[in-house]
Amino acid sequence: MFGWKKRTRCGLAAWLLGIGWALATQAQPIPSALAEGAWLKIGITKTGIYKLDAAFLTKSGVPVSTVDPRTIRLFGNGGAALPQANHKDRPRDLTENATWVTGETDGRFDASDAVYFFAESPHPISYDSTTRRFSHQINPYTDTTYYFLTFGQKTGKRIATQPTLPQTGTVITEFDDYAFYKAGGEMTNLVRSGREWLEYLGIGTDKTVSFNLPGIVTGSSALVTSDVVGRALINTQFQLKWGAQSVGNQAIESVTDYQYDRKGRQNRQTFTLTPVSLESAVKLTLTYDRNGQGYLQSLALQTRRILRRYDEPFLFRSLESVRFATVRYVIQQANATMQVWDVTNRQRPVSMPVTVNDKQEGSLPAVGNRLREYLIFSPEQASAPETAVAVANQNLQSRETPDLLIITPASWRVQAERLADFRRKNDQLTVLVVSSQEVYNEFASGQPDPTALRDFARLLNNQTPGKLKYLLLFGDATFDYKNYSKLLTPAQLAATLPTYESRESLHPVLSYSSDDYFGFLETAEGEWTEDFSGDHSLDIGVGRLPVKSAEEARTMVDKLIRYAATGKLPGDWQTKISFVADDGDRDFPNIHQTDADRLAQKITTLRPPFRTEKLYLDSFTQESSPGGQKAPLVNQAITKALNDGRLIVNYTGHGGESGWAEEQVVTLQDILGWTNQRLPIFVTATCQFGRYDDPAQTSGAELALLNPQGGSIALLTTARPVYASTNYLLNNAFYDALAQNTADGAPRLGDLIRLTKNGSLSGSLNRNFTLLGDPSMQLAFPTAQAVLTRINGKTVGAQADTLRALETVRLEGEVQQGRSVLNPFNGYVKVTLFDKADTVTTNGTEFSPPMNYADYRSPLYAGQVRVQNGRFVCQFVMPKDLDYRVGLGKLFLYAVQADSLVEAAGSYDNLLIGSSVPNPVADTKPPVIRLFMNDTTFVDGGTVFGPITTLIAKLNDENGINIARNGIGHEITVRLNEGTPVVVNAYFTPNLDDSRGGTVQYDWPNLPPGAYTVQVKAWDVYNNPSETTLTFVVSAQPPLVIRSVAVTPNPFQEQANFGLQHNRPGDALESTLLITDLSGRTVSERIDQCSNCNASITGLSWNGTMPGGAAVIPGLYVYRLILRSMSDGSSAMHSGKLLYVR
C-alpha cells in the first residue's frame, strides 16, 4: 500500500537512491537542473500513480497549446528526510524521473493527452532482510513530497518496457503488505522539544484505527507493531485488540513529578498473531489505563494478502520471490486496462507486460532472487497532485564559496541583503545570500529539511576548503516543524528557518535544539548518539538572528550596522566585562559565584586590559516579598552596567526563558525597558534563557537581542536546561577563545563560538548553547595597545617609587600597534588608577557560607588627557583617602583617535601604592560645585520637562576631586528633597587635560510634576568638603514641536542630509524620513530611534536609491520628517520638496 526501501545490516541499498552522491572533498560546481526553462513545482502526499492532464496543467498556468509533450520532463528525489550522516549518498541535485506520456507522438498536448508518473510519500517504508520485517520512517519535517515539471528543452525520459519473459517460474498468488497509521488528531510534544510528536489519547480512552485491507490470506500470520507512550505516577499498561481478538499488552513504567524527570515512557512492541477476523476493514483498538495519560506514536500491520486487482492502485512485493531465480505472479480479477510497473527504482519505473486470460487472470513473469516492488493500477485510478506552483530559475550549485553565507526565508531577504552589503563594504567579506526555499529546491527536492541547509554549506565548504567561515541563519525557528499547535499562520511558518531538533523528545534535559548541526561538515560527522559521547567539532561559526517580522529584521540589521559602523560609541566600556552570579544551591554551595570568579580571574590574567565588574548576588542585600526573595540592588546594578556600557555581560546561575535567578534580577519587564545605547554580548550559562524555537513565547534572550531601544547585540546562550558543570566548561572555553590573538584585529563572533564549542566538547550537553547573533560581527574591542612607559620620570620596569597619598604623580605613555608608536594618533586617553584589590566577603545564605573574593573597588584617579602623535602625559595629585598599606594597584588605559576611531587599550599592574608624602603642601580650600538641570543654560528655580530629568554637576578643585571609596563619608553624593543621599562617584567624568575637575551627570526617570530641591556634596583629594543646593520644577510634557529643519544640499546629486531641531531634549523619540514621488509612491523610508535625545537630530540622509539599491529617476520628490515620542505617543511632522539631479 505504501512505498518501501530495502534495508540491510549496512543500511539502505544505494541502487534505490537513483543517482548517489557522496560529497567529495573538492566538489566541482555544476549547473542546477532549475537553472534554465519554465518550471512547475508539484506537491503530493500519498504514494501512488499521478496524472497531469491538460486541464490540470492549464489551471496551473502552463500554456498547454505551446507545449511539445515530448519535451515534458519530471524531476524529483522522493520524499524521505535526507540522511543526517554526511557520508551517506544522496542526490546532489534534482534527478529526472521516467514518466508515461500518452498522445505525445504528434508533438501536441491535446485535451486527451496526459502525463502519468509514480510518486512516493514523505514517509517511506523499509525492509530488513535479517528480521524479514518492514518498518516505516515518518518524515518529521513535512507531509508533502515535491516534484518539478519542465518542458520546451530536451526530450524527457520515458518509462521503459520490460522485455517479455517466458511464462515459467514459480507461481506466486499472494503478496506481503505493510500498512501504518501515522499519528493524527490532537498532537502534542510532552517537553516542547525534539522532533517526535504524539497523538493524545486522553485518560482511559479507547483509540480505534481502521485499515482497509481486503483479501487477507486465511490462516496467515500477521505482525502488529504498536508504538505508544504512557505518563503515570504508577506502572500502567496498554491493551491492544484486532477487532475482538486480543493482540497483547504493553507495560509502561511510572514517571515522577520531578521537574527534570522524563515526561513519559515509550514502549514499541511487535506482536505476531493469526487473525480470526478476515474482514476488509481491519480495526485495531488501543485501551490505556485510567491512571495515566496515553499517547500514540503509530500502529502498523504486516500481512499476507491475495494478489488481485483492487479498487485502488496498490503496491505489492513477495518475500518468497527472493528464493527463486524466476517467478510468475498470477493476478486475479485482472482486466485489459490494468498496468503493472516495477517501481523498485523510484526514478526509473519499468512497465511490465501482463498476459490476461479468459479467466481474468493476469500472468506476470519476473526475475526473482531479490526483493522487487510493483505497482498495479488502471489509468482512470490515477490521482491529481494536491498543489502546483511556478518556480523561478535558480542555480545554487554553481555559486562560488563566500566568507559568509546568509540563509533567509524570502520574507526577510531585503534586510538580509542590506546586512550582506554592509559586510561587503565595511568588513571586506565576500557574502552570499540565498533563500531557504532555493536551498530546499535543489538539495531536498523542494521539501523543508534542515539537512538541506547543512548540505549546501558543506558543498560550498568542500568546493573551496577553508574559505567558508560563517553561516548566518536569518530567521526564527520552531520546534513544531509541521505547525501541529496551529500557533503560526502558513505564511509565518514559511518565514521560519529550521533548527536541529533531537530525536529525544521525552526527557526535558536530554532533549535539545541546536544550530551546531549546520557546522558539522566533515565526512564522518552529521549523525551521533544523543549522549555524552556524541562529540563533533564545528568547522564554521554558526549564528542565528531569530527575527519573525519585517520590523524585527530591520531593527536587527540597524543594530548590527550601528555597532560596527564608524559612528559607534567609543569608550572604555569596550574593555569592561560584568560577571553576574547567582547565590548558592543546597547541594553545591557557592558554585555559581565560584565559577564566575574563576572566569573573571582567568580573563584578566589572559587579557589584563579587560576590567571586570563582579555582581555576585550574595554580596547584595535581599528583601522579602510576597513573590519570594528579591535583590533590587542587583537589578539596578545590571541596568547601570548596561547604560554605562559593557563589552560582555556574563551570567552564571539559575534561570529560564523569562529571566535570571529566583530573585528575578533580570525579568522580561526589565529587558523590555532597557534603553542602553552601548550594546553588550551576553553570555548566559543558565537554563533555556535563549530558547528561540518555541512559537508560544519569546524568550528573554530574543527580547534582549531584538529590543530596538537597547538590550544586546548578540548572546551566547542556552536553548534548553543545562548542567552547571558543562556550563562552566563552555564558559571557560569562551574566555580561552576570547584571549586568542586574531590576524585582523578583534575576533568575530563566529570564530569565538567555533573555538568555544570545540574547546568544551561534552556530547549533546554542549549542543544546547547557541549563538543568537551575526557570526561575522567583530567585537568592539580596541585593537591597538595603550602602553605606560614612564612613572614620575622613571622607565616602567625599572625600580619605581611608591605612589603615596597627596603626591603629585606624572605618568607618560604611548599608543602602539605591534610595539611601534602609532604616529599620527591624535585623540585622547582615559586613565583610571585603582588602589589595591579589596577582599570582599559575601553575606552567606542558608545553603552557602560567606565567600571571599578579590575586586578592584577603590578608584583613586580618573582623568582624560590628549594624545599627540601617539604619546601622552598625565599629571595628578594622589588622594588622601587611600589604603596606606603598600601593595600593588592597577592602572587601566583606554585611548581613541577622534577622526578615525582607532582605539587602544592597556593596563599596568606592577604599581606600588601606599603610605603618604611627608609634609604635603597645605590645602584647606573646598571644591567649587555648580549645578544645572538638563543643560548648562538652566537657571536655579527653572522648569524642566520629563520624562528624564538630568542633574549636571560641574566640580572643580585646584588639587582635584576625591573619587576614592576608602574614606567613609567622603563620596560624591546627591540628595533629592531631603531623601537618602545617593553615592554618584561612578557617574563622574573627568575634564579633558584638566585633573582638577569633572562633571557628574545623574538621571531621574519619570519624576512626578512638582517642585524639587537637590543637594550635591563633594570632597577634594585633601578631604575638604563642599555642598551646593539647586531648586527646580518638573512640569508635564509640552506638545512635541519640530522647531526647524535643514536639508543640504538641495538640489543634490549624491546624498541629501537632513537635520532638525525639536523641543523635547531628553525624551525617547522615533524619527522617520519618508521620501515619496509626486504620485505619493514611497521610494525610501528610514526609521531611527534614540532613548535620551538631544535637542537636535542629525545623521538622516538619502542617496537617491530605493530599498533594493536601484537609483531613482532624477526629478522632484517630497520628503516628510515625522517625529514621534515613544513616551507619550505625541508626534510632529514637517514636509518639503527635494530635487534629485544627475
Q: In this structure, are residues 145 and 123 in contact, taking their beta carbons and an 8 Å threshold?
A: no
Question: Helices 550-564 and 413-427: crossing angle, nearest 10°?
Answer: 10
Of 1127, 192, 258, 1091, the closest CA to residue 699 belongs to: 192
Sequence length of the chain is 1142
Question: 58 - beta bridge partners?
Answer: none
Q: How many CB atoms lie within 10 A of CB 994?
A: 13
Of 912, 711, 910, the closest CA to residue 803 belongs to: 912
Q: 567 or 81: whose pLDDT is higher?
A: 81
Amino acid at 28: Q
Cis peptide bond N-terminal to 1039, omega within 30: no
Per-residue confidence band for 96, with pLDDT thresholds at 50, 70 and 90: very high
Q: Quote the distance between the C-alpha of residue 569 and its chain's center.
A: 26
Amino acid at 1139: L
Structural domains present in the chain: 4-166+337-391 (no CATH), 175-306 (2.60.120.260), 542-772 (3.40.50.1460), 797-916 (2.60.40), 928-1035 (2.60.40.650), 1042-1140 (2.60.40.10)
CA dist 1111 and 758 (Å) reads 46
443 sits in which H/E element: helix 436-443
Model confidence pLDDT, tens digit, residues 1021-1043: 999 999 999 999 998 777 789 99
| Torsion over CA: 318, 320, 326, 329 (sign) | negative
pTM of the predicted structure, to 2 decimals:
0.88
- Choice among 16-30, 918-932, 1109-1123 with the minimum mean pLDDT: 16-30
What pLDDT does residue 841 have?
A: 96
- Choice among 26-35, 208-217, 859-868, 1063-1072 with the minimum mean pLDDT: 26-35
Q: In this structure, are residues 784 and 816 in contact, taking their beta carbons and an 8 Å threshold?
A: yes
Residue 491 CB-density burial (10 A; 0-12 exposed, 13-18 middle, 19+ buried): exposed
Model confidence pLDDT, tens digit, residues 469-521: 999 999 999 999 999 999 999 999 999 999 999 999 999 989 999 999 999 99
CA dist 252 and 287 (Å) reads 13
Q: In this structure, are residues 1033 and 1012 in contact, taking their beta carbons and an 8 Å threshold?
A: yes
Q: In this structure, are residues 731 and 683 in contact, taking their beta carbons and an 8 Å threshold?
A: yes
Instruction: Record the cell numbers describing residue 905, joined without a space.
Output: 587599550
Question: 351 - beta bridge partners?
Answer: 161, 341
What pLDDT does residue 977 have?
A: 96
Backbone angles phi, psi at 189, to 5 degrees: -125, 115
Model confidence pLDDT, tens digit, residues 750-770: 999 999 999 988 766 778 899
Backbone angles phi, psi at 523, to 5 degrees: -60, -40
Q: What percent of the chain has pLDDT over 70?
A: 96
Per-residue confidence band for 2, with pLDDT thresholds at 50, 70 and 90: very low
What pLDDT does residue 743 have?
A: 66
What pLDDT does residue 290 have?
A: 86
Instruction: Record the cell numbers describing residue 694, joined without a space.
Output: 518555541
What pLDDT does residue 171 have?
A: 97
CA dist 1092 and 492 (Å) reads 34
User: Using the 8-state DSSP alphabet, how is residue 43 labeled?
Assistant: E
Model confidence pLDDT, tens digit, residues 100-129: 999 999 999 999 999 999 999 999 999 999
The mean pLDDT of the chain is: 92
What pLDDT does residue 532 have?
A: 65
Q: 570 or 287: whose pLDDT is higher?
A: 287
Residue 24 CB-density burial (10 A; 0-12 exposed, 13-18 middle, 19+ buried): exposed
Q: What percent of the chain has pLDDT over 90?
A: 81
Model confidence pLDDT, tens digit, residues 145-192: 999 999 999 999 999 999 989 998 999 999 999 999 999 889 999 999
Backbone angles phi, psi at 770, to 5 degrees: -140, 155
Model confidence pLDDT, tens digit, residues 206-244: 999 999 999 999 999 999 999 999 999 999 999 999 999
Q: Quote the distance between the C-alpha of residue 658 and its chain's center.
A: 17
Q: In this structure, are residues 499 and 64 in contact, taking their beta carbons and an 8 Å threshold?
A: no
**How large is the C-alpha radius of gyration of the chain?**
36
Q: How many CB atoms lie within 10 A of CB 427?
A: 17
CA dist 1032 and 944 (Å) reads 7
Q: In this structure, are residues 544 and 416 in contact, taking their beta carbons and an 8 Å threshold?
A: no
Q: In this structure, are residues 500 and 527 in contact, taking their beta carbons and an 8 Å threshold?
A: no
Per-residue confidence band for 21, with pLDDT thresholds at 50, 70 and 90: very low
Of 449, 486, 395, the closest CA to residue 187 belongs to: 486
What pLDDT does residue 894 have?
A: 96
CA dist 450 and 695 (Å) reads 18
What pLDDT does residue 756 have?
A: 95
Instruction: Record the cell numbers describing residue 506, joined without a space.
Output: 521525552
What pLDDT does residue 1066 have?
A: 84
What pLDDT does residue 900 have?
A: 65
* Secondary structure (H, E, C), 90-141: CCCCCCEECEEEECCCCCCCCCCCEEEEEECCCCCEEEECCCCEEEECCCCC
Residue 1039: C-alpha distances to residues 520, 1004, 1108, 1125, 1129 (Å): 57, 21, 37, 10, 11
First to last CA, the chain: 69
User: Using the 8-state DSSP alphabet, how is residue 69 labeled?
Assistant: G
Residue 449: C-alpha distances to residues 325, 444, 502, 518, 662 (Å): 40, 7, 14, 12, 38
| Nearby residues of 398 by Cβ (< 8 Å), 6 or more positions away | 29, 30, 31, 32, 35
What pLDDT does residue 533 have?
A: 67
Q: In this structure, are residues 96 and 157 in contact, taking their beta carbons and an 8 Å threshold?
A: yes
Of 141, 187, 180, 215, the closest CA to residue 46 belongs to: 180
Cis peptide bond N-terminal to 824, omega within 30: yes
CA dist 939 and 1123 (Å) reads 28
DSSP 140-168: SS-S-EEEEEEESSSPPPB-EEPPPPPS-
With 70 as the cut, is the pLDDT of residue 596 above it? Answer: yes
Of 694, 424, 426, 671, the closest CA to residue 546 belongs to: 694
With 50 as the cut, is the pLDDT of residue 8 above it? Answer: no
Q: In this structure, are residues 580 and 559 in contact, taking their beta carbons and an 8 Å threshold?
A: no
Contacts 24+ apart (CB under 8 A), 1093-1096: 1093/1062, 1093/1064, 1093/1065, 1093/1066, 1093/1067, 1093/1068, 1093/1069, 1094/1065, 1095/1061, 1095/1062, 1095/1063, 1095/1064, 1095/1065, 1096/1059, 1096/1060, 1096/1061, 1096/1062
Model confidence pLDDT, tens digit, residues 452-467: 999 999 999 999 999 9
User: Using the 8-state DSSP alphabet, how is residue 317 labeled?
Assistant: B
CA dist 673 and 704 (Å) reads 10
Q: Cα-Cα-Cα-Cα dihedral of 646, 651, 655, 661, to 10°?
A: -90
CA dist 793 and 898 (Å) reads 28
